[in-house]
A and B are shown apart, each in its own frame.
Chain A
Amino acid sequence: MVSVINTVDTSHEDMIHDAQMDYYGTRLATCSSDRSVKIFDVRNGGQILIADLRGHEGPVWQVAWAHPMYGNILASCSYDRKVIIWREENGTWEKSHEHAGHDSSVNSVCWAPHDYGLILACGSSDGAISLLTYTGEGQWEVKKINNAHTIGCNAVSWAPAVVPGSLIDQPSGQKPNYIKKFASGGCDNLIKLWKEEEDGQWKEEQKLEAHSDWVRDVAWAPSIGLPTSTIASCSQDGRVFIWTCDDASGNTWSPKLLHKFNDVVWHVSWSITANILAVSGGDNKVTLWKESVDGQWVCISDVNKGQGSMSASVTEGQQNEQ
């Protein structure tokens, strides 16, 4: 059910902290404690190093691809307190912008839905979240939410672009009146939902409390046309919660415990169709979860690629068939 189709030897010299495919699933960006960001072309099971991006002065925690309608753009964030936006131009990847507005490690970057334009949310250990909006001519406008999470924000994740009050994209000719929202998780054990007010300021809309330790990651599920909004969160406390909100106002969120793991849960990721959640934990295990008909979350697979990865090149393809 889960089969390794490609094993990419990144040649990073230290821990890898993030690996993200681009919009098409043809390029892989990785980042590492070795301070580098690498981009590979991984089409057809291959791996061609396209770029080895140097510019950060500390471990690089996360990378995020912008939507291709804006070109080939990758954001990375690092312990060096910087966010770098890299851009490919004429086949060459270069630093396009550097955001140094944080006072501590920047732990998470996430691009807004492309419908909003080029907007990047960055969560930092200084407790602030900054929002970079591209305004043209190489200029980025910065908005900052101070004290979003005391001791630090660990994750940011945008809500899908859904026009309030309509389940499907509005067919009208007007620019849809999107309400921009994102979720953040932090060291105050909270998940917070932020909403852009009409005056362009960001306001805390909701606090979701259920975790008893640092929230390590939040992931707002892609919209699949249903009125329900869903957020997954995971924490140092080993718990993964699925938060759902059915009401139109978006104010009533109820958590459901997906599972309590025995170790830190570092990362949650929704499948594109929003029906599978990949959970990766400190025990180096990746598990896939799916909601059953009766609303229970069921583990449908362990992805156990770790062991024997040395021989992965040999057994590639049939390895870990489950």
Chain B
Amino acid sequence: MKLKEVDRTAMQAWSPAQNHPIYLATGTSAQQLDATFSTSASLEIFELDLSDPSLDMKSCATFSSSHRYHKLIWGPYKMDSKGDVSGVLIAGGENGNIILYDPSKIIAGDKDVVIAQNDKHTGPVRALDVNIFQTNLVASGANESEIYIWDLNNFATPMTPGAKTQPPEDISCIAWNRQVQHILASASPSGRATVWDLRKNEPIIKVSDHSNRMHCSGLAWHPDVATQMVLASEDDRLPVIQMWDLRFASSPLRVLENHARGILAIAWSMADPELLLSCGKDAKILCSNPNTGEVLYELPTNTQWCFDIQWCPRNPAVLSAASFDGRISVYSIMGGSTDGLRQKQVDKLSSSFGNLDPFGTGQPLPPLQIPQQTAQHSIVLPLKKPPKWIRRPVGASFSFGGKLVTFENVRMPSHQGAEQQQQQHHHVFISQVVTEKEFLSRSDQLQQAVQSQGFINYCQKKIDASQTEFEKNVWSFLKVNFEDDSRGKYLELLGYRKEDLGKKALKDSDQVAQSDGEASPAAEEQLLGEHVKEEKEESEFLPSSGGTFNISVSGDIDGLITQALLMGNFESAVDLCLHDNRMADAIILAIAGGQELLARTQKKYFAKSQSKITRLITAVVMKNWKEIVESCDLKNWREALAAVLTYAQPDEFSALCDLLGTRLENEGDSLLQTQACLCYICAGNVEKLVACWTKAQDGSHPLSLQDLIEKVVVLRKAVQLTQATDTSTVGVLLAAKMSQYANLLAAQGSIAAALAFLPDNTNQPNIMQLRDRLCRAQGEPMAEHESPKIPYEKQQLPKGRPGSVAGHHQMPRVQTQQYYPHGENPPPPGFLMHGNVNPNAANQLPTSPGHMHTQVPPYPQPQPFQPAQPYPFGTGGSAMYRPQQPVAPPTSNAYPNTPYISSASSYSGQSQLYAAQHQASSPTSSPATFPPPPSSGASFQHGGPGAPPSSSAYALPPGTTGTLPAASELPASQRTENQSIQDQAPVLEGPQNGWNDPPALNRVPKKKKMPENFMPPVPITSPIMNPLGDPQSQMLQQQPSVPVPLSSQSSFPQPHLPGGQPFHGIQQPLGQTGMPPSFSKPNIEGAPGAPIGNTFQHVQSLPTEKITKKPIPDEHLILKTTFEDLIQRCLSSATDPQTRRKLDDASKRLEFLYDKLREQTLSPTITSGLHNIARSIETRNYSEGLTMHTHIVSTSNFSETSAFMPVLKVVLTQANKLGV
């Protein structure tokens, strides 16, 4: 393809390879007159600017010369690699002269551009070549067999390579060997070539075919093989290129007969020895492989001959050809379309012809457009054989999990014989790249700590290793979480020791200590330093009893008081005392006057009192800690925190710590801001800790992230332990950090660890995506054909096409409504869905009736659940800290509570596995890969009726969810489903500690301690402490028995359909409604950003179909009736909405059981156990039922029963409690 052209009849020389940019020098040709017959001459330099798409070449300089040239070369002599224009331009003139020009001066416009000149030669100098090893050496050839070797460092006196050949002849070509620097070859029109050895200073071999027809116009050495060269013949009778090997110099090795007429010039590519250019009087420019003789390329040219042809040394695909029609053209041999260029030419033409675009359309007028036929030629194909320089020999690419894929191809000479060796080297290497060793080892330690529950040790180690005081504090605070009496320890950390204070107080006033014993035990036990002391001192003013006294009845104030007292008018008496500033009297009297009066009096007292510590006292007495926290001087944050630790009731404790932390964070200086972390640790507020920490630290470095994660993980553990409930739905920020952390681990190749740390937050697509990726990267076995399925599921599920499932699960739709209004982000097409779906699939699979039960769980995690948590959760502790928890359906985190961190991860891993293993046996579970069973085929087709799996909810835009047909059918209770899930989730976290160890046992003792840990100094009689008194805590108490899977499953009760149809959601908008069933399989159609809105509409408009279920076998029908009856009974007596909700939910979830009964997939032990339970229900012996329940759960396969047993337990427990 032609790139550029210049209208010159000239010899040409490319700038050396080192030079950038690329220049082309042209010197007026001595042999050819151009059309103007002008005799003037010039030397010009053009720049090859490929970023300019036009055909024009940018002229950089023109130097009017007195010479015309036979040969022009550009040597890299004295060229630095900087790329400035340099080197030397060497010209062979008409009269035996060789002229050296300085190209940089030419470009600079200098007048004095000639470096040197010598006219030692006789006749025109037609042959010039620069030695590529010693660039100061230039060989020249002229008439009379003259060959000179010029040293540019000493230009005056050339050498000769040896005695002149006889008879004298013109030297038409000269070339230095490309491999051996002292070898030179020359050739003449007579057809003979001579090879010279400059060390011997004589010709060493003469090459000739003796045909007398080799009229040598070209000579070139093989770029790689030292002994090979080609000679080209200008003679029309022998238009050949001969390839010679000097070792067999009797005849040519090969003869290339591709030209029809004499060859005028040749050029051998230095970049690829298989490319030899030749141009001839047949007006062809050919590119052949001289090693085979094959013509690789014919340049499209006009009909003019070219007399000079040159490869561009720097750009291997570029060549230039000078033709007799007075043009130098620059071509690429890589082919391509010239449409763009032609258009430009046309534009140029039209502009030359004046305004042919009178309407300003920017288009040339039709007459000037290129005729049709040229369009055909506008496409120029590239070389037949790929040139060497585009064959990438080496590569290294990163892939997921810190893996690096590398390959290389050992370089070898292109000639034959190499193949053999080459074949051994076609390996690809996969390497693991680990760059963060410390990070990994620390992460490992953390994991070990989590696994072994050795948090105290871990924290202690961290404390010991702490570099800074702050770090030490943080770890100390964290450690306290795992110790008894955590509040007391916190106080100690803040510098308040009970013992110390006790001593001090005693010293100060032992008497007081006695007398006010009843006043405030807390004040004695856990004092607040000075303040409290003063408070006590105050109490000294209380009147002491003993002795007789007079009752004053005088008219003064005493008398008035007396009167008032005698009349029992406490109120007046108190007022009088206050008025007289007898505060102590007033208070004492007020105590006698009853609570109301006391409170009033206290208020008045505080209003009057101005002492420094009044506010503290006020707060202590009024139990108004918020006041302290809100308004204390931030420098006193320690004191405020201590006060909170001492006094705050558990239900407000976290909130107060939070508040203080927030203040510190917002208002404090940077030092105080970091201290906010301590408050958050006390509060157990992981999310805020993360936020605060992130603000203060540069979180991008792996180790600093590790720092954070260590704390977060430990704190979350602590929160689980101490608060027994899960307060920590994973917030957005924490989730982001955790996934960042998981990403880092993955990048270091620690896939399993990454999975363990990855939070289970279904609302964050990137996390779900990462989980899926990690699971698959772990290399779970999967059938080869199965693999496409999962991604599709991801895509499909969200679209909510439940297809094969009967319409009995409708609740998921409700979820939609719940999720969205709460700031849920409806997923963008594609990934969000993916993310959302994944947990689904993951959670569903293990519980799918009929698929999973035969499975031996490959992961140990189900084990912890099996005991089903026989221990009720510790008393009030769990409930007490609820203030932090969102009670309303949480926003984005509702479903994917952190608690599952690892469980979910392992689950999804597991599910993959399951999916794979179940392929064969349960095609319905993988509709994506297998043709759907006949019965469900139709529904696949139409996107299916029934309930979309909850994931569908995600995909639905908020506005439209309401129009779902199913929505209205939903019982009100379902609307709260979300919440009940949420309620369960936190609790579930307990057993599921994320690292798959059985935590129940070691945790329980902890929990039992809770109450004492939190015994507040001020007697609190609030019902919070009484778990039974609080509906919420009641619920929590029961919930522990519900294993995690239930909760997940509860929201996604679509066991049958992990895959398949939802894909339609995407397909449909693309107009594929009529596709044959096979198209429900994953295919690329789903892809490109199908508009969600449309998709959704489609979903809506799809016809719904139901699939009838098998009946429950008669012998088991009793189970259903019994359980349903029981739930009804409970419902009728339960008043608490939460309980009702749960019951509603339970009745739905028992469908799983009924399904299994229908399919008769339950093992006999389980069914008989269920019958036992049913019997115990009949007799209202629920505790016996519960015992049997526990027995079943502990003896049966987890996956088999997990779908329904937990709810059954809920029902039994409720029934027991309600006494129905």
Contacts and interface: CB of A to CB of B under 8 A. Distances in A.
A interacts with B: yes
A24 B776 contact: yes
B1084 A267 contact: no
A146 B339 contact: yes
Contacts of A206: none
B393 A282 contact: yes
Interface string B396-422: 111111111111111100000000001
A116 B53 CA distance: 31
B386 A187 contact: no
Interface in A184-203: 187-190
A126 B1083 contact: no
B391 A11 contact: no
Interface in A1-56: 1-26, 28, 30, 32-33, 41-44, 50
Contact of B1088 (A3, A42, A118): A118
Interface in B16-42: 20-21
B344 to A, nearest CB: 10
A322 to B, nearest CB: 10
Contacts of B380: 103
Contacts of B777: 24-26
Contact of A71 (B394, B429, B1082): B1082
Given A1-B434, A103-B335, A303-B404, A125 B382 contact: yes
B315 A309 contact: no
B427 A10 contact: yes
Contacts of B831: 69, 114-115
Contact of B381 (A14, A104, A279): A104
Contacts, number: 372
Interface string B422-437: 1111111111111101
B396 A25 contact: no
A150 interface: yes
A317 B423 CA distance: 23
Interface string A198-220: 00000000010000111010000
A173 B825 contact: yes
A232 to B, nearest CB: 12
B386 A272 contact: no
Given A103-B336, A125-B382, A68 B394 contact: no
B913 to A, nearest CB: 13
B1081 interface: yes
A5 B406 contact: no
B394 A266 contact: yes
Contacts of B700: 226
B899 to A, nearest CB: 23
A57 to B, nearest CB: 11
Contacts of B83: 212
A278 B151 CA distance: 45
A71 B788 contact: yes
A253 interface: no
Contact of A282 (B394, B403, B766): B394
A19 B1087 contact: no
B407 A2 contact: no
Contacts of A92: 785
Contacts of B402: 271-272
A233 interface: no
A147 B1086 CA distance: 32
B1092 interface: yes
A275 B432 CA distance: 15
Contacts of B334: 104-105, 125-126, 151-152, 187
Contacts of A255: none
A249 interface: no
A312 interface: yes
A126 B336 contact: yes
A160 interface: no
Nearest to A293: B701
A151 B779 CA distance: 43
Contact of A151 (B336, B396, B430): B336
Contacts of B337: 103, 126-128, 146
B825 A171 contact: yes
Given A6-B429, A12-B426, A72-B787, A20 B776 contact: no
B97 interface: no
B51 A152 contact: no
Contacts of B555: none
Nearest to B749: A5
Contact-residue bracket for chain A: 35 or more
B406 A96 contact: no
Contacts of A290: 435
A141 B355 CA distance: 37
B393 A15 contact: yes
A7 B429 contact: yes
Contacts of A32: 426
A33 B1089 CA distance: 35
B252 to A, nearest CB: 30
A2 to B, nearest CB: 5
A287 B336 CA distance: 34
B105 to A, nearest CB: 22
Nearest to B780: A43
Contacts of B332: 150-152
A58 B828 contact: no
B428 A19 contact: yes
B773 interface: yes
A305 interface: yes
Given A4-B431, A44-B779, A68 B790 contact: yes
Given A71-B1082, A115-B830, A150-B3, A59 B386 contact: yes
B434 A137 contact: no
Of B386, B401, B1090, B1092, most buried by chain A (CB within 10 Å of CB) is B386
A90 B404 contact: no
A89 B392 contact: no
Interface in A76-108: 79, 81, 87-92, 96, 103-105, 107
A278 B397 CA distance: 7
Interface string B829-851: 11100100000000000000000
A276 interface: yes
Interface stretch (B227-235, B671-679, B1066-1074): B1066-1074
Interface string A110-138: 00001111110000111110000111111
A235 to B, nearest CB: 11
A164 to B, nearest CB: 15
Given A13-B423, A278-B398, A115 B785 contact: no
Interface in A241-257: none
B929 interface: yes
A136 B50 contact: no
Contacts of A226: 700
B435 A150 contact: no
A300 interface: yes
B386 A58 contact: yes
B315 A214 contact: yes
Interface in B732-784: 736, 743-744, 746-747, 765-766, 773, 776-777, 779, 783-784
A228 to B, nearest CB: 11
B747 A284 contact: no
B1092 to A, nearest CB: 6
A216 B404 CA distance: 20
Nearest to B429: A305
B958 interface: yes
A284 B823 CA distance: 53
A8 B431 CA distance: 11
Contacts of A125: 317, 334-336, 382, 390
Of B332, B381, B929, most buried by chain A (CB within 10 Å of CB) is B332
The 3 A-B pairs at the shortest CB distance, nearest first, are namely A117-B1088, A91-B785, A136-B1070
27 contacts: A2-B431, A5-B403, A5-B430, A22-B399, A23-B400, A28-B430, A43-B779, A58-B386, A69-B791, A70-B1086, A71-B1084, A87-B1083, A88-B787, A96-B1084, A103-B382, A115-B831, A117-B1087, A126-B336, A133-B1088, A134-B1084, A134-B1087, A138-B1085, A272-B398, A272-B399, A278-B398, A288-B433, A305-B408
